[in-house]
Amino acid sequence: MESKLPNVGTTIFTVMSALATEHKAINLSQGFPDFDMPEALVRLTGEAMQKGYNQYSPMAGWMPLRESIAAKIQDLHGASVNPDTEITITPGGTYAIYTAFTAVLRPGDEVIVFEPAYDSYIPNIEVNGAVAVRIPLEFPTYRINWEEVRACITPRTRMIALNTPHNPTGSILRDHDIEQLRQIVEEFDLLIMSDEVYEHLIYDGQPHRSMLRYEDLRQRAFVCFSFGKAYHCTGWKMGYCVAPPTFTVEFRKIHQFNCFSCFTPAQVALAEHLKDSAEYKSISGFYESKRNYFGQLMQQTRFKPLPSYGSYFQLYYFNHLSDLSDKDFSIWLTKEHKVACIPVSAFYQESIDNGVVRFCFAKKEETLERAVERLVKVY
């Protein structure tokens, strides 16, 4: 069969996690916690099932959950979002991103994508016949060069894809970026796909600059979120998309004939759990401690860190330790030292290799300690 995506192979997360399993390595590659999700949420989900919430929920999502999300957005960003017309519950953040692109893009449309880019964006764009216009983030700060963005805009540019906090680099959008973004989207009438799945994983007292904070940006944006990241349950595949009513209508046209609706018991449970604002406000501190602990342990190794301002990832230089490409180094590290990581070149179409790899620190302290005991031996 002629492939619609001839250049796409198996995602790096599957490849590295499989290699980690095969070689019994500690898996700091694919991003997922190895500790338990909140007990209260497990209990609420069990109760929902026992109470009989086991049939389809409404296509757009369980209304009390959408109301809890709207209250959270009001609390965190001061924005009034209509739960009926602007919020859709999705099976995960990646699905929300795919659906947003698919709702908007026509063949030949151009989307600005910053590399390194989460690996689903470009295939999502291309499967819709649209074109990803790739712009590298500046190395090693991984900041956006807005002059370059302006230079890449054409009459076909339809959308700009953003991700803050950023996977894989842990960079975040700053006030300067928001100012530039506001000018550019207005001047060239662009839409925004904003991947904010790591909204709660942001450190050093920085605010999460969600598109939802800025009325002008919010009116142009599909903003995609993940419960899996917030509540340590990536296997739940639960997320949501917030977008203006006319965008949401189009989003739901795709969603209703793809997934239709999501796992009801989890929605019933999340509706209740999200009311605990102290809990979602505590997530950044919880992960900041993990980042700091991992960073402190890693000082015993010869790996050199790049800063992580958000997400549960931290990049490290290895190129003073090895001449291998980052892909070969990641394979070698997994096989020889039994710690798996992700080569950052996997997030570039043209395999730009800056000699850095990504480690996930969403792990128990003992897991991080055991991993670092092994990484100390790399020199």
Site residues (vs ligand GLN, CB under 6 A): 13, 30-31, 167
Which amino acid belongs to residue 92?
G
By C-beta, is 131 or 344 nearer to ligand GLN?
344
* Spatial contact of 4 and 10, defined as CB atoms under 8 Å apart: no
Q: 176: Cβ–Cβ under 8 A, 6 or more apart, which residues?
A: none
Rg (CA), the chain: 20
Comparing CB distances to ligand GLN, the nearer of 22 and 75 is 22
Q: Contact at 8 Å (CB) between 303 and 329?
A: no
Token pair belonging to 244: 């203006």
Ramachandran angles phi, psi of 242, nearest 5°: -110, 125
Q: Which is nearer to ligand GLN, 157 or 167 (CB)?
A: 167
Smallest gap from residue 313 Cβ to ligand GLN (A): 7
Least gap, CB of 154 to ligand GLN (angstroms):
30
- Nearest distance from residue 138's CB to ligand GLN, in Å? 21
- In the complex, the smallest distance separating the C-beta of residue 259 from ligand GLN, rounded to whole angstroms, is 16
Beta bridge partners of 193: 161, 222
> At residue 146, what are phi and psi to the nearest 5 degrees?
-70, -25
Q: Copy the structure tokens of residue 38.
A: 């909140």
Contact indicator for 341, 30 with CB cutoff of 8 Å: no
Alpha-carbon distances of 324 from 119, 176, 273, 345, rounded to whole Å? 22, 37, 46, 13
Number of Cβ within 10 Å of residue 374's Cβ equals: 16
Task: CB nearer to ligand GLN: give 31 or 310.
Answer: 31
In whole angstroms, the minimum distance from the beta carbon of 80 to ligand GLN comes to 30
Is the torsion defined by CA of 244, 155, 103, 310 positive or negative?
A: negative
Q: How far is the CB of 111 from ligand GLN (least distance, A)?
A: 20
Which residue lies nearer to ligand GLN by CB, 62 or 316? 316
- Between 203 and 347, CB nearer to ligand GLN: 347
- Token pair 């300067």: residue: 176
CB of 167 to ligand GLN, least distance (A): 5
State which residue, 110 or 195, has the beta carbon closest to ligand GLN.
195
